[in-house]
Structure 1
Amino acid sequence: MSSIPFKPMLPSLTDDIPASEGWIYETKYDGYRCIAKWTENEVELYSRNGHSLNSVFPEVVDRLRALSPCIRSFLPLVLDGELCILQSPYKASFGSLQKRGRLKSREKIDHVSQQTPSTYLAFDMVHIRGETITHKPLSERKKVLDALFGTLSDQLTENDRLALVNSFIESGQLWSHIKEENGEGIIAKMTSSTYDPGIRTKKWLKIKNPQKGVFFITAYEKTNGFFHVAALQEGKPVLAGLFSNGISPAERESLIQVLKKNKAAENARFITVAPSICVELEYLEIYKNQLRHPRFVTFRFDVSWEDCTWERIVSRK
């Protein structure tokens, strides 16, 4: 194997869960995509861009090293998976993971790794016993992965640093769990799919589980085309983020004209307005009162800006 494994295969975004035969469904976790190179003597964790993650997630490295004697007959191998800090079996904490990623001090990393440990969630096997198996269909690669975890079944605990991502033949039950836990979404995969490194494929699909909320517009940023939105917290506007995606060219132009006509102030960068225009946005989650991946859904002329409160938004989660 090379010192840096290949880049991972990537799923394409879609709105609908495929329902035809030949698909399986897995939880989409909000984590760091990670290729794990595992030999008898070493464990290396790589990001999707080939950067080492060993120093950031030492608890995973140490755990895999400790398990090496149990799976010597499988080594060397390469796994594809996700590094996460789990909140539940169907949801990972993006905020906790982001904090971990910023840490540089070994002392702080060691402390946090004990307080909020991460988990490597494996969902594919691309190399085993010195053989690359990317040309084999997913169904066969899954059998090899299942055999690996079957060998480890007596060693792994419920909240271990290594876990297998479960696959479902039907999407309904999994989607219900995702909705209930406010998870990120589902990954659908064709069982016949080969593994194509570095390719964004339609043989794997990601279906997000967006949250929704109503916010009021505070400004238009002329330099980048983003609209800024806020919601009330204890009667005061608190910025929630900015959006650009989802709004049609005609809607965008009409909105800009309305903002210009009703502006409170304007400079080279911003057109600012008093609270008035409400919009419904969908987003992945709220992190530190900021919307992650917000997208315009529709104007909400039926809602008064005084009703756009953080309390109402959070209560819908």
Structure 2
Amino acid sequence: MQLPVSAPLLPMLAKLVGSIPAGDGWIFEPKWDGFRTIVFRDREEILIQSRDGKSLNRYFPELVDTLLRGLPEQCVLDGEVVIASDRGLDFDSLQLRIHPAASRIKLLAKQTPASVVFFDLLCAGEDDLREQPFEERRKRLESLLKPAAPSIYITPMTQDPSIALDWFSRFEGAGLDGVMAKPIGGVYQPDKRVMLKLKHERDCDCVVAGFRWHKNGLGTAIGSLLLGLYDEAGELQHVGVCASFTMDKRKELVSYLAPYRDDALADHPWANWASSQAAGAGKRMPGAQSRWSQGKELSWEPLRIELVSEVVYEHMQGDRFRHMALFRRWRSDKRPMDCTYAQLEVAPPQELMEIFPHGG
């Protein structure tokens, strides 16, 4: 490709904040929950680049055709690949696209076609726009993609903090992750955390049913705690992990958890997943390899079902935490059987067309 902005290019990043920034000088956008992408087009060539600089073209063949039809002949844009359903954004369907079989990808492309939501313009024709203020890049983006082709969208924006807070609460049910805040006059800085993001945060009491050793401390440091919640049938379901500990805390946890390892597998509800064969055939269970694990060591150690911890999570993806939870404290005052899905706050779905009333 012969463009003023060359691939690979790492996207500009954001740092987490606890509230909407005060004062003028900010542009707010919904935070999308998909695959971050930088799209390069040079005439008949399209590159859908992932966050880490790799090509996503083979996984989203329908987007290659869409972008060739809907984008100007020479441009570079920053955005997010998403899949929308009648329940909102579907990250599970998005993950299924990263598959080794081309025939499977082709089938999924027809069944659950993807879209791209753009929120920045880095290059238009021969103009490198990265040193232009974001406000100007946004205006050029709106001019470039108006009217947008089907499956190509521009993210909503506002300079009104009250509208941003309304998005933060209303659009969660559609699968949006929170709100972004970007400096009006900011230039584009690849791989730098110069934007701000406000994300949802909730707490939950979970059963700690097992753990994994730290990759650099096998037998001497804890890597992550395996979390569970009881469903309506009384079965303990694996909902995710928490792993944000200092190395000192990881070592301390070894002795803390030691008494709960004795005879832990005898009546463990996940005993059937303990063997490597069962784990490999399981569905998102402890120790189960998948194409997302990339060969990482995922073997786990069971704990007696006696420990409860309070954790912080952002939101649910189906019946699991979408992202890794954060450990807050032990709850010795709570029974494991009281750790159920009923305690979770579930945001009602919000129609995506509320966000894109004129979308294709």
Q: TM-score range by the shorter chain?
A: 0.7 to 0.9
The TM-score with structure 2 as length reference comes to 0.73
Deviation at 1:272, TM superposition (A): 4.5
Q: Does 1:210 align with 2:210?
A: no
Match of 1:164 among 154, 179, 182: 154
CA RMSD in angstroms, aligned pairs only:
3.0
Which secondary structure does the structure 2 equivalent of 1:114 belong to? helix
Identity %: 25
**Deviation string, structure 1 residues 279-317 (Cα, Å, up to 9, x no partner):** 22223444475433111133334432111124x156645
Offset at residue 95 of structure 1 (A): 0.8
Closer, same or farther: CA 252–296 of 1 in aligned 2, 3 Å: farther
Other-structure match for 1:293: 324
Instruction: Indicate conservation of the 8 Å contact 1:84/1:93, yes or no.
Output: yes
The 8 Å contact of residues 43 and 74 in structure 2, kept in 1 or not, is answered as: yes
Cα deviations by residue, 1:260-283 (Å, 9 ceiling, x for unpaired): 34543489x976442222222223
- Closer, same or farther in 2 for the Cα pair 1:249/1:183, shift >3 Å? farther
- Counterpart in the other structure of 2:289: none
Residues 1:305 and 1:167: Cα distance change in structure 2 (over 3 Å): same
Structure 2 residue aligned with 1:304 = 335
Q: Partner amino acid for 2:200?
A: N
Q: Does the aligned pair in 1 maintain the 2:240–2:324 contact within 8 Å?
A: no
Check 1:178–1:251 CA distance in 2 against 1; reply closer, same or farther (3 A cut): farther
After superposition, the Cα gap between the structure-2 partners of 1:22 and 1:283, relative to the gap in structure 1 and judged at 3 Å, is same
In structure 2, the gaps of 5 or more residues are 266-298, 348-360
Residue 196 to residue 270, structure 1, CA distance change in 2 (3 Å): closer
- Taking the TM superposition and a 5 Å limit, the aligned residue runs for 1:37-48 are 37-48=40-51
The whole-number CA distance in structure 1 between the counterparts of 2:330 and 2:247 is 12
Number of residue-to-residue matches in the alignment = 299
CA distance in 2, matches of 1:5, 1:236: 46
Q: 1:278 aligns with which of 297, 308, 312?
A: 308
Taking the TM superposition and a 5 Å limit, the aligned residue runs for 1:105-120 are: 105=102, 107-120=103-116
Aligned positions of 1:93-132 closer than 5 A:
93-105=90-102, 107-132=103-128
> Aligned with 2:188: secondary structure?
coil
Contact 1:125 1:142 in 2 (8 A): yes
Cα offset for 1:208?
1.8
Cα distance change on mapping 1:235 and 1:200 into 2, 3 Å = same
Q: Decide whether the 8 Å contact of 1:124 with 1:141 is kept in 2.
A: yes
Is contact 1:247-1:297 (8 Å) kept? Answer: no
The Cα offsets for residues 193-251 of structure 1, whole Å up to 9 and x where unpaired, read as: 10012x3223x012222354221112344435122222223223333332121689679
**Separation in 2 of the partners of 1:210 and 1:41?**
43
Higher strand share: 1
Name the residue aligned to 2:293: none
Call closer, same or farther: CA 1:182–1:125 in 2, change over 3 Å.
closer
Q: Distance in 2 between matches of 1:282 and 1:93?
A: 22
2:23 aligns to what SS in structure 1?
coil
Q: In structure 2, what is the equivalent of residue 231 of structure 1?
A: 229
Larger displacement relative to structure 2 (273-282 or 27-36): 273-282
